Amino acid sequence: MIDFLRGDVAHVESDYIVIEVNGIGYRVFTPNPYLFSIKDEKVVVYIHYHVRDDATLLYGFYTRNEQTLFRKLLDVTGIGPRVALGILSAGKPEQVVQAIQQENIAFLTKLPGIGKKTAQRIILDLKDKLGALVTEDSLLYSDGLMALPMDDLAEAGDENWQAAREGLIALGYTTAELDRAYVSLQQQMTGDESIDVLMKKALQQLFKG
pLDDT at residue number 155: 42
Q: Is the pLDDT of residue 156 over 50?
A: no
What are the sequence ranges of the domains in the chain?
Answer: 4-61, 64-126, 150-208
- The whole-number average pLDDT for the span 5-20 is 93
pLDDT for residue 138 is more than 80: no
- Tell me what pLDDT residue 69 has: 94
Region label for 37, one of left (φ > 0), alpha (ψ between -120 and 50) or beta (otherwise): beta
- Which of 79, 81, 92 has the alpha carbon at shortest distance from 35? 92
Band of pLDDT at residue 141, cut at 50, 70 and 90: very low
The domain covering 4-61 belongs, at the CATH homologous superfamily level, to: Nucleic acid-binding proteins (2.40.50.140)
Instruction: Report percent pLDDT > 70 for the chain.
Output: 82
Q: Which of 72-76, 80-84, 111-115 has the lowest mean pLDDT?
A: 111-115
CATH class of 64-126: mainly alpha
Of residues 128 and 131, the one with the higher pLDDT is: 128
φ and ψ at 104, to 5 degrees? -90, 85
Q: Of all residues in the chain, what percent carry a pLDDT higher than 90?
A: 37
Among 128, 78, 127, CA closest to 105: 127
Average pLDDT over residues 63-75: 92
Amino acid 140: pLDDT:
41
* pLDDT higher than 60, residue 157: no
pLDDT at 98 over 90: no
Residue 45 DSSP code? E
Can you tell me the distance from the alpha carbon of 62 to that of 30, in angstroms, rounded to the nearest whole number?
Answer: 8
Q: Does pTM top 0.85 for this prediction?
A: no
pLDDT of residue 27 exceeding 70, the answer is: yes
